[in-house]
């Protein structure tokens, strides 16, 4: 019998779309991490002779209203967008796992309160909530990382809670209880590890969502503030110069699309590769 890991890889590699997603994500990672090396120009270099130039040999994706190279700004923008994605998702996972495990393991009042909280959070349109909080504590890259994290933990919480509910009664948990391990230890060692898989899927998909939200906020002018480059805030320039600078609108949006698509495909691919139901009866 193949180990679970090998099974996973086999299934994953058979899924062409998932592999494409993986490649996209890896490529983005590379660009983001090696931005200083990959970027042809300094993203902040102002060039009064090349303002609003269309794509050409010198500037592959054109220049913006201060003469800065769009390609370079987009490469550094990748770093920004992905950082926001990772940190925001990190925060949401920590919160989500905490609430989910408390809710699922202890049940009773804790469960009811937490579920109610989740209900409430889900009832307020998330974007409204994010905007309202930004109104009161300001925008900027750190603030939006935290805000996005604080408003997207609900899915993870539910997931972890479900895992807990279903795994609570499994033998080894009962066995550990019999042996006398304290409640807390049981949670974190045995069950958490099992719930990591769906949480991973949620995280990957969450990054896609966070990148979308960050670009929307930056596009509206309340996310990442210029002159720090973000795909969203380059699009703002695109909108203001719709008639004369199509490249400012087309390329950053394409980057967002590809990024989100990549993470979505990867996340769905991991989920499909993990899901025993789709693959008939195989042991875990």
Partner 1 sequence: MKKFLYIFIALIIFLGCKDKPAKTEKPDLKGNSYGPAYGDILIEGTIGEPSVLIPMLAGDSASHSVAGMIFNGLVKYDTDLSIIGDLAESWDISSDGLVITFHLRKGVKWSDGVEFTAEDVMFGYKTIIDEKTPTAYKEDFLQVKKAEVLDTYTFRVTYGKPFSPALTTWGNLVVLPKHLLEGRDITKSDLTRKPVGLGPYKLNKWSSGQEVVLESYKDYFEGRPYIDRYVYRMIPDPATTFLELQAGGIDMMGLTPIQYTKQTENDFFRNNFQKFRYPVFSYTHMAFNLKHPWFKDKRIRQAIAYGIDKNEIVDVVLFGLGRPATGPYVPNTWPYNPDVKKYEYNPEKAKQLLKEAGWEDHDGDGVLDKDGKPFQFTILTNMGNTLRKNTATIIQWRLAKIGIKVEIRALEWSTFVNEFIDKRRFEAVMLGWQIGLDPDQYDIWHSSKTKEKEFNFVGYNNPEVDGLLEKGRRSFDIKERKKAYFRIQEILADELPYIFLYVPDATPIVHARFKGIKPSPIGISYNQPKWYVPKPLQKHAMEP
Partner 2 sequence: MIRYLFKRILEMVPTLFGITLISFLILHLAPGKPTDILSDFNPKITPEARERLEKMYNLDKPIVVQYGLWLKKIVKLDFGESFSTDRRPVIDKIWDRKQPLLDRRLFITFMLNLVTMVIILAIAIPLGISSATHQYSLYDKITTTFVFIGFAMPSFWLALLLMMFFGIQLDLLPLSGLKSMNYDSLSLAGKVLDRIKHLLLPVFVSAFTGLAGDSRYMRSSMLEVIRQDYITVARAKGLPEKKVIYNHALKNALLPLITLVGLSVPGLIGGSVIMESIFGIPGMGQLFFMSVMTRDYPMVMSLLTIGGVLTLAGNLLADIGYMFADPRIRAKQ
For the chain, the C-alpha Rg in angstroms (whole number) is 22
Stretch that binds partner 1, among 108-116, 122-130, 184-192, 238-246 (CB under 8 A): 238-246
HSE toward the beta carbon, residue 75, CA cutoff 13 A = 21
* First vs last C-alpha separation in the chain: 11
109 binds, among partner 1, partner 2, none (CB under 5 to 8 A by kind): none
Whether the bond into 184 is cis, omega within 30 of 0: no
Instruction: Closer to partner 1 by CB, 25 or 134: give it.
Output: 134
Letters for 101-140 (x = contact with partner 1 by CB under 8 A, - = none) are ----------------------------------x--xxx
Nearest CA to 131 out of 108, 151, 113 is that of: 151
Letters for 25-64 (x = contact with partner 1 by CB under 8 A, - = none) are -------------------xxx-x--xx------------
Instruction: Give the number of residues in contact with partner 1, rule: CB under 8 A.
Output: 24
Instruction: Closer to partner 2 by CB, 101 or 264: give it.
Output: 264
Distance CA 200, CA 228 (A): 30
Question: Smallest distance from the beta carbon of 14 to partner 1, in angstroms?
Answer: 29
124 binds, among partner 2, partner 1, none (CB under 5 to 8 A by kind): partner 2
* Cross-strand pairs, 63: 69
In which element (H, E) is residue 111 found? helix 108-123
* Cross-strand pairs, 153: none
Total length of the chain: 284
Beta carbons of 43 and 68 less than 8 angstroms apart: yes
Task: Kindly state whether residue 250 participates in binding partner 1, applying the rule CB under 8 A.
Answer: no
Which positions lie near partner 2, rule CB under 8 A? 116-117, 119-129, 131-137, 208, 212, 215-216, 219-220, 222, 235, 238-239, 242-243, 246, 249-250, 252-253, 256-257, 260-261, 264-265
Binder to partner 1 among 2, 119, 240, 275 (CB under 8 A)?
240
């Amino acid at each position: 019998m193949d180990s679970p890991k090998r099974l996973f890889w086999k299934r994953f590699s058979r899924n062409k779309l998932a592999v494409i997603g993986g490649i996209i994500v890896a490529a983005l990672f590379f660009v983001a991490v090696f931005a200083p090396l990959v970027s042809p120009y300094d993203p902040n270099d102002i060039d009064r002779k090349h303002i609003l130039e269309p794509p050409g040999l010198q500037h592959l994706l054109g220049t913006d209203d201060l003469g800065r190279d769009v390609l370079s700004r987009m490469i550094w923008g990748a770093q920004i967008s992905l950082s926001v994605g990772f940190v925001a998702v990190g925060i949401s996972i920590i919160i989500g796992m905490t609430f989910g495990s408390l809710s699922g393991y202890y049940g009773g009042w804790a469960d009811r309160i937490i579920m109610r909280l989740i209900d409430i959070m889900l009832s307020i349109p998330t974007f409204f909530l994010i905007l309202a909080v930004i109104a009161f504590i300001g925008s900027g890259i750190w603030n939006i990382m935290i805000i996005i994290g604080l408003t997207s933990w609900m899915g993870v919480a539910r997931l972890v809670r479900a895992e807990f509910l279903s795994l609570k009664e499994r033998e080894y948990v009962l066995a550990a209880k019999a042996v006398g391990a304290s409640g807390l230890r049981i949670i974190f060692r045995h069950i958490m590890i099992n719930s990591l898989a769906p949480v991973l899927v949620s995280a990957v998909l969450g990054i896609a969502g966070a990148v979308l939200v960050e670009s929307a906020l930056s596009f509206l002018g309340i996310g990442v503030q210029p002159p720090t480059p973000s795909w969203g805030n380059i699009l703002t320039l695109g909108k203001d110069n719709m008639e004369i600078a199509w490249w400012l609108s087309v390329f950053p949006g394409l980057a967002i699309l590809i990024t989100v698509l990549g993470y979505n495909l990867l996340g769905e691919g991991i989920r499909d590769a993990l899901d025993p139901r789709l693959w008939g009866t195989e042991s875990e």
